[in-house]
Amino acid sequence: MVNIDIDSIGEDLPLLEGIRTTRSIRRLLPDPVPVELVRKVCEAGTFAPNGGNRQPWFFIAVMEQARRQYIARLYRDTFERYISPAREAAKSPDFPPDKRRNMKAAIHLAEHLHEAPVHLFVAGWTRRGQPQTQALFPAIQNVLLACRAVGLGASLTTAHRAHGAEIDEYLGLDPEKTPTAALIPIGWPRGRYGRPTRRSIDTCFFVDRVDH
């Protein structure tokens, strides 16, 4: 992937098609991603709605290999502790196949996170001592959609939070004032984008009042 035109890449994908085909891409190539392209997807994040237009966000793209290895070690540790029971449950024949696929992909990410060329963290100011995660998630979704548009693979993760303070400090953030909310591993995808598995809108759409 050389000679990318940063200004034009991703500008022609219809919005709704992009929304419908943005799924978690957790199998990533280790090839480098231009920092200008990472900047572009983060800029999309800054157009998100946010309370009082306070724009509380920070986007920190960790690209140096040794730093990614450090983060991956902590992420894997959390994953092993919290997800291992679910991994056992997934061995049961009754476990739904789409959930099993999802779990396998999540495990793959945990085992290969150090190879993802970009570990993008989204952090934000706290308010009255509370993390404002709800102010960050629209921005995070915009970043995921922008990755889809430019052809980068990405997924939303939060498992790093079990080591949140340690990682925040490692990134130069104050865990009390500007904690990280999400880690978005980004890279060129090994697979392809496509429609995620979702139940029909007819199971969750109502007019005027909910009828059961």
Residue 141 within binding range of ligand FMN, rule CB under 6 A: no
Q: Which stretch binds ligand FMN (CB under 6 A): 62-70, 87-95, 151-159, 164-172?
A: 151-159
Alpha-carbon distance of 152 to 143, in angstroms, equals: 10
- ∠ CA 25-135-194, nearest 5°, is 20
- By C-beta, is 4 or 138 nearer to ligand FMN? 138
Minimum CB distance to ligand FMN, residue 39 (Å): 24
Reference 183, options 101, 113, 108; nearest CA is: 113
- By C-beta, is 4 or 48 nearer to ligand FMN? 48
> What are the DSSP E strand ranges found in 25-131?
57-62, 118-124, 126-127, 130-131
- ∠ CA 98-99-105, nearest 5°, is 95
- By C-beta, is 96 or 196 nearer to ligand FMN? 196
Binding mask 153-192 for ligand FMN (x = CB under 6 A): --xxxxx---------------------------------
Residue 102 within binding range of ligand FMN, rule CB under 6 A: yes
Length, in residues, of the chain: 212
Q: Binders of ligand FMN: how many residues, by CB under 6 A?
A: 12
Q: Which of 28, 62, 106, 145 binds ligand FMN (CB under 6 A)?
A: 106
Residue 109 within binding range of ligand FMN, rule CB under 6 A: yes
- By C-beta, is 101 or 127 nearer to ligand FMN? 101
- By C-beta, is 126 or 158 nearer to ligand FMN? 158
Do the bridges between strand 130-131 and strand 180-187 make them parallel or antiparallel, or are there none, so unpaired? unpaired
Strand partners, 58: 123
- By C-beta, is 4 or 70 nearer to ligand FMN? 70
Query: Measuring CA to CA, how many Å separate 6 from each of 11, 34, 71, 155?
Result: 10, 9, 28, 21
Can you tell me whether residue 8 is helix, strand or coil? Answer: coil
Reference 144, options 44, 51, 71, 60; nearest CA is: 44
Q: Which stretch binds ligand FMN (CB under 6 A): 34-42, 86-94, 152-160, 172-180?
A: 152-160
Given the rule CB under 6 A, which residues bind ligand FMN?
A: 23-24, 102, 106, 109, 155-159, 196-197
